[in-house]
Structure 1
Amino acid sequence: LADGKFNGKDCYMIEAMPINNTVKSDFGYSKRRMCILKDNFVTATIDIWDTAGKPLKHIEFTDIRSYGKVKPRWQAMKSMAKNLQTQHMTQVIVNDFAAEKTLSDKLFSPQSLEK
């Protein structure tokens, strides 16, 4: 695909399709097209088509911030997903995000994960 733009920034356009009808049926999508920002490789948009090939969803990721000093990571603080067939919209806002935090191994023990 040709390169694209999102909010004035250059992006790579990537299209992904299921390898076969079984995978298409399992996932419920016939195609995804993503806009990946060239400067930080963060996904900016995702467009999704249903199994009949009709546009189904559009998702945008905004307010993208850099976190971490040792190894910078990028995080979208806002995302908006719209079902193009029903017009239903879902917005997710991240109020707090931390990177490079040390977590106790106890958090990942079977006992903790079963809680």
Structure 2
Amino acid sequence: MSTGQMILGILGFALVTAILYVWGLRRSMTQGADLERILLSKSAGKVVHYLKGHDQIDLAQMAQLCAGVKAGQFWSRRRVAVQDSRAFAPRLARYMVDQQLLEELSGGRYRLKP
């Protein structure tokens, strides 16, 4: 193996290492937002499943459905869970309305968007 090949090999290894480091750093910086999005999505799935059998839902019922929901990424040990479901329910409702899953009715009630 010549000296030029060794230098190219070392530079290639350094480049790959730098790319993996930046990728991992970026993943760790956005992990909190990703976990929150996963938790909202998982909770929204529970609400949609409930609404397939029922006509309407209010915030108190959303809070009951979302109590204890946990979310995590498969490559990480870090997990998030709904601890205060009453505080989480309005944020979930706003997320679902923004995602056009629900439509808001009068009196703080919601239903599936047709």
TM-score normalised by the chain length of structure 2: 0.23
Higher strand proportion (structure 1 or 2): 1
TM (norm. structure 1) is: 0.23
Higher relative contact order (CA 8 A, sep 6+): 2
Structure with bigger gyration radius: 2
